[in-house]
């Protein structure tokens, strides 16, 4: 799953009415993970979408953004793949990687 900006809008909104995009994202992710596990696959996902779910953040490059607690508690067992470009400052990478280290994430 990647580039899920605008999730739960458009056709989904027309068909099912208003829903919290984060909850739609997590529900879909749980279904994908279940499918992977049923096929003995180990799911992986770009990490930036989790930071984009942070309320009030300006996206992945907002270094004050973190993976929200409700997301941390709801995410099934997946491996996050680091995604980051456009920075030449090592501390930027270190801070972002450290923000991954809780629970299964």
Confidence band (pLDDT; 50, 70, 90) for 16?
Answer: very high
Dihedral sign computed on CA atoms, order 71, 48, 105, 34 = positive
Asked if residue 1 is part of any domain, the answer here is no
Asked if residue 104 is part of any domain, the answer here is no
Confidence band (pLDDT; 50, 70, 90) for 68?
Answer: confident
Asked if residue 103 is part of any domain, the answer here is no
Confidence band (pLDDT; 50, 70, 90) for 38?
Answer: very high
Asked if residue 63 is part of any domain, the answer here is yes
Q: What is the pTM of this model?
A: 0.70
Confidence band (pLDDT; 50, 70, 90) for 37?
Answer: very high
Asked if residue 24 is part of any domain, the answer here is yes
What does the pLDDT read at residue 94? 74
Asked if residue 2 is part of any domain, the answer here is no
Helices and strands: H and E segment counts in the chain: 5, 2
Asked if residue 64 is part of any domain, the answer here is yes
Could you tell me the residue range of the domain that residue 41 belongs to?
Answer: 11-98
Asked if residue 4 is part of any domain, the answer here is no
Task: Count Cβ atoms below 10 Å from residue 22 Cβ, excluding itself.
Answer: 20
Structural domain count of the chain: 1
């Amino acid at each position: 799953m990647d580039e899920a900006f605008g999730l739960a809008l458009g056709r989904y909104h027309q068909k099912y009415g208003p829903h919290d995009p984060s909850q739609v994202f997590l529900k879909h992710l749980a279904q994908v993970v279940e499918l992977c596990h049923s096929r003995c696959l180990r799911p992986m996902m770009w990490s930036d979408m989790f930071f984009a779910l942070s309320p009030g953040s300006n996206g992945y490059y907002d270094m004050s953004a973190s993976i929200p607690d409700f997301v941390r508690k709801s995410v099934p067992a997946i491996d996050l793949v680091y995604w980051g470009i456009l920075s030449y400052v090592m501390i930027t990478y270190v801070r972002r990687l450290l923000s991954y280290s809780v629970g299964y994430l």
